[in-house]
C-alpha cells in the first residue's frame, strides 16, 4: 500500500481512492447516514425540537448480550483508526508522526487536552441549548444504557472511541493525505470542519453549526502544532463528561434541557 516504506510514491489518483475508501468505512459513511437522518426528521409532522437522538442505546434486553454488543461496537469502530495508522506508519521514529502522534510530551499533551476540553465544552453546551431554544436541535440523550455495573466503563470507552476515531481520522489522517494532494492549509481546515459538522447533522442544524466551529478551531490549532493527541484527549474528556454527567444534569434541570420534569 502507499503508506508502507519501500513502495513507489503514491499517485494523486491512488491517494484520492484511499481517502474515499477510508471515509467509506468510517466517518464518510456516518456523514451520509446523518444527512438522510436529518431529511427523515425534517419530513416528519413532529417538529425536530421534539425528537430525540440516543447516542449510546441499549442493544439487548439481556444484560450480558448488551455488554457484548457494546464492546464489539467499540472494537469494530476503532478498526478504521488502526487502518489509517497502518497506512501512514513510518519505519522512522516517531512511527505515526504523519498522523501527529508521538509520546514525547505526554504531560503537555494532557494539559493541552484538558484546557481544550474546558474551552470547547462550555461553549458547546451553550450552542446546544441555544439550538434547543431555537427549535433547530433534537433532544440528545447521550446515555441510553440501563444502569449496570459496567455502564460507566462502557460509556468511557465510547467517549474514547469518539475522540480517537474523529480526531485521528478527520485531523491526523485527512490533514496528511489532503496535504499529499497539495491542498492548501485553509482548504483542508474548512473541508474537514464541514465533514465533522455533517456527520453530526442527525442531531439537527444546531449541532452542525457547533461542530463546524469546533472543527475550524481544531483544524487551525493542529495546522500550527501538528500534534493530534491533545485533540483526542479533549474530545474524550468532553464526551465522557456528557455521557456520564448528562443524566444527572437532565434530571436536576429538565427545563433547561427541554425535557419534562420527572414525576
Task: Give the C-alpha separation, 39 to 35, whole Å.
Answer: 6
Q: Does 1 map to a domain?
A: no
101, 172 Cβ separation under 8 angstroms: yes
Q: What is the pLDDT of residues 203-250, one digit of tens each?
A: 999 899 999 999 999 999 999 999 999 999 999 999 999 998 876 666
Three cell numbers, residue 175: 490533514
Task: Give the C-alpha separation, 137 to 51, whole Å.
Answer: 9
Phi then psi for residue 139, to 5 deg, are -75, 120
Number of domains in the chain: 1
258 burial via Cβ count (<10 Å: 0-12, 13-18, 19+): middle
Q: Does 191 map to a domain?
A: yes
Q: Does 257 map to a domain?
A: no
141 closest CA partner among 20, 54, 224, 223? 54
Q: What is the pLDDT of residues 48-76, one digit of tens each?
A: 989 989 999 999 999 999 999 999 999 99
CB-based contacts of 240: which residues, under 8 Å, 6+ apart? Answer: 155, 156, 159, 160
Q: Does 53 map to a domain?
A: yes
Q: Does 6 map to a domain?
A: no
**Residue 250 pLDDT:** 61
207 closest CA partner among 144, 138, 147? 138
pTM metric for this prediction? 0.90
Q: Does 152 map to a domain?
A: yes
Three cell numbers, residue 241: 463528561
Task: Give the C-alpha separation, 201 to 138, whole Å.
Answer: 10
Q: Does 187 map to a domain?
A: yes
Residue the block writes with cell 500550527: 224
pLDDT exceeds cutoff 50 at 122: yes
pLDDT exceeds cutoff 90 at 133: no
Q: Does 147 map to a domain?
A: yes
Which residue range is the domain that position 205 belongs to?
12-252
Amino acid at each position: 500500500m502507499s503508506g508502507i516504506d519501500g513502495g513507489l510514491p503514491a499517485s494523486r489518483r491512488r491517494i484520492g481512492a484511499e481517502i474515499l475508501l477510508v471515509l467509506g468505512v468510517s466517518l464518510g459513511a456516518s456523514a451520509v447516514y446523518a444527512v438522510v437522518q436529518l431529511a427523515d426528521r425534517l419530513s416528519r409532522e413532529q417538529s425536530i425540537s421534539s425528537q430525540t437522538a440516543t447516542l449510546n442505546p441499549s442493544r439487548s434486553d439481556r444484560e450480558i448480550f448488551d455488554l457484548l454488543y457494546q464492546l464489539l461496537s467499540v472494537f469494530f469502530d476503532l478498526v478504521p483508526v488502526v487502518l489509517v495508522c497502518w497506512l501512514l506508519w513510518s519505519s522512522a521514529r516517531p512511527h505515526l508522526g504523519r498522523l501527529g502522534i508521538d509520546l514525547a510530551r505526554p504531560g503537555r499533551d494532557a494539559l493541552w487536552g484538558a484546557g481544550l476540553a474546558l474551552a470547547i465544552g462550555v461553549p458547546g453546551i451553550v450552542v446546544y441549548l441555544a439550538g434547543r431554544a431555537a427549535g433547530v436541535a433534537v433532544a440528545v440523550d447521550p446515555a441510553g444504557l440501563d444502569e449496570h455495573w459496567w455502564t460507566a466503563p462502557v460509556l468511557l470507552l465510547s467517549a474514547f472511541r469518539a475522540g480517537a476515531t474523529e480526531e485521528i481520522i478527520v485531523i491526523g489522517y485527512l490533514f496528511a493525505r489532503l496535504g499529499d494532494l497539495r491542498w492548501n492549509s485553509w482548504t483542508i481546515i474548512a473541508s474537514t470542519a464541514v465533514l465533522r459538522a455533517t456527520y453530526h447533522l442527525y442531531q439537527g442544524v444546531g449541532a452542525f453549526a457547533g461542530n463546524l466551529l469546533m472543527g475550524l478551531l481544531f483544524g487551525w490549532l493542529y495546522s500550527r502544532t501538528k500534534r493530534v493527541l491533545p485533540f483526542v484527549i479533549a474530545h474524550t474528556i468532553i464526551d465522557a463528561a456528557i455521557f456520564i454527567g448528562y443524566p444527572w444534569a437532565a434530571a436536576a434541570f429538565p427545563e433547561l434541557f427541554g425535557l419534562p420534569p420527572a414525576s
